[in-house]
Chain A
């Protein structure tokens, strides 16, 4: 086995062996700010869904927004 392969294997083993022992570095009681309304990704789904629909019907790029498709209304 070549040295780079051995090092990669060692790194993979080291990373996977630690998977079972990952401890949350931000404790539940430290997440008060993350729980604040201003930190919500999608505070108003009905508004976010519509503006995404507006953009996607007038642009060539689609996806990556988490919004479902359906219809056009865009002649």
Chain B
């Protein structure tokens, strides 16, 4: 009996150690496949489509992941309504491939990613190294990536492109991550990321608006003019705590700033509660985000060519948004069948409330320019997916 107990104890300790170590990157990630369908519906746009992500390990040292997703975009955002553009019917396809190589307590990772739309192609390569240290209490991850985008412009409903419009955007990213076990119940993480971009940074379909004449109540539109460079920095700190009744609570705070004078803060809280011996896991999430406007942003310029750089992108406007989310995941297969060790079904729902502080609803042309109500909208994000471990 004592022998059995010892074996069981050793096995439990080994499982706990391996699982904890996997969170700290000195064992390979689990072999897993996910098949998902997701939708985004808000602000006049609907984006929906499937996604797939598969990870397969080869030997004890090599792990390969591959992903594919399709976004079908339909509808018209407020910017398109203001400019009288035709509703969208676009497809975006994204592919990604990654390889992780584990050597001792070090994991080397490389990956490539490609995203293709009818007017926007994006390619990205990335590499990283992750080192576990101090008895696996600490994991440090360093990453770099390089991206190349090609932007074109569709000029009519038949999806014909402007032959004279082809722009480039280059991107470099550096990241540093630290994961730290603090106590047997508490884990902390720190992430820092710097992104530099150079090239065509604006949206070719967006426009500024300016008063038709001094004191006028109507507005005219003109192309936006963006700087050719952009550098942003983001630092995030997170904590996760195991609660005594077998649940967890997590908090995250992120601060970011950039060379366009946008300062943003994000705060997030998550609560996770398992039921039925972890067969069902429920998550509740709340996220708050706020930012000020970019230095060259204005909802309504006083006249054309008022300044060197001019933008009316609502992503650059002062805004805040609140997200409440709920998720459930149910293990409908907990024992091995054929090659499948476990299978689960999950449903995620997020409701996002966007409120802009200096971006007005310019579709209300019956009102004098600059007096329209501030724009706000709500969006729903639904993700349903099946996951299998093998």
Chain A residues with a Cβ under 8 A of chain B: 22-26, 28-41, 43-47, 50-51, 54-55, 57-66, 68-73, 75
Contact = CB atoms under 8 A, between A and B. Distances in A.
Contact of B40 (A31, A54, A64): A54
User: Interface majority SS on B: helix, strand, loop or mixed?
Assistant: strand
A33 B278 CA distance: 13
Interface in B368-390: 379, 381, 383, 385, 387
Contacts of A31: 16-17, 20, 181, 184
A60 B135 contact: no
Nearest to B16: A32
A47 B36 contact: yes
B302 interface: no
Contacts, number: 223
Given A68-B145, A71-B94, A73-B73, A63 B289 contact: no
Interface residues of B, number: 110
Contact of B278 (A34, A37, A50): A37
Interface in B278-322: 278, 281, 287, 289, 291, 294, 315-316, 319, 321
25 contacts: A29-B17, A32-B16, A34-B242, A36-B242, A37-B274, A37-B278, A39-B248, A44-B346, A46-B385, A47-B385, A50-B38, A54-B352, A54-B379, A57-B315, A60-B315, A61-B256, A61-B266, A63-B233, A65-B236, A66-B175, A68-B124, A70-B96, A71-B71, A71-B94, A71-B115
A68 B96 contact: yes
Interface string B345-361: 01010101010000000
A73 B117 contact: yes
A25 to B, nearest CB: 7
Contacts of A66: 175, 177, 191
B199 interface: no
A44 B385 contact: yes
Given A31-B20, A64-B193, A72 B248 contact: no
Interface of B: 12-13, 15-23, 34, 36, 38, 40, 45, 47, 51, 53, 67, 71, 73, 77, 79-80, 88, 90, 92, 94, 96, 111, 113-117, 120, 122, 124, 126, 134-137, 145, 147, 171, 173, 175, 177, 179, 181-185, 187, 189, 191-195, 203, 205, 232-236, 238, 240, 242, 246-248, 254, 256, 258, 260, 262, 264, 266, 272-274, 278, 281, 287, 289, 291, 294, 315-316, 319, 321, 323, 325, 327, 329, 346, 348, 350, 352, 354, 379, 381, 383, 385, 387
A51 B281 contact: no
A57 B73 CA distance: 14
